[in-house]
Homo-oligomer: A and B are copies of this chain.
Amino acid sequence: MKKSPLARQHCSVAQTLALVGEWWTLLIVREAFFGTRRFGDFQARLGVARNILTRRLNALVAAGILSRHEERGRGGPVAYRLTESGRDLLPVIIALLQWGDRWIYGQDAAPARIVEAATGKDVAPVSVRAEAGQTLMPRDLLAVAGPGADEAERARFAAMQEEAADRRRARQS
Determine whether the beta carbon of A143 is less than 8 Å from that of B13: no
A148 to B107, CA, bound (A): 9
Say whether B90 contacts A128, CB under 8 Å: yes
**A10 on the B face (CB < 8 A):** yes
Residues 1-30 of A contacting B (Cβ, < 8 Å): 2, 4-6, 9-17, 19, 21, 23-24, 26-27, 30
Q: Count residues of A near B (Cβ-Cβ below 8 Å).
A: 96
Given contacts A115-B142, A141-B114, A96 and B17 within 8 Å (CB-CB): yes
Say which residue of B87, B99, B148 sits within 8 Å of A109 (CB atoms). B148
Q: Which residue of B lies closest to A127 (CB)?
A: B91
11 other A-B residue contacts (CB within 8 Å) besides A13-B27, A111-B146: A12-B111, A13-B93, A13-B100, A15-B104, A35-B163, A36-B160, A91-B127, A108-B148, A112-B153, A114-B128, A124-B130
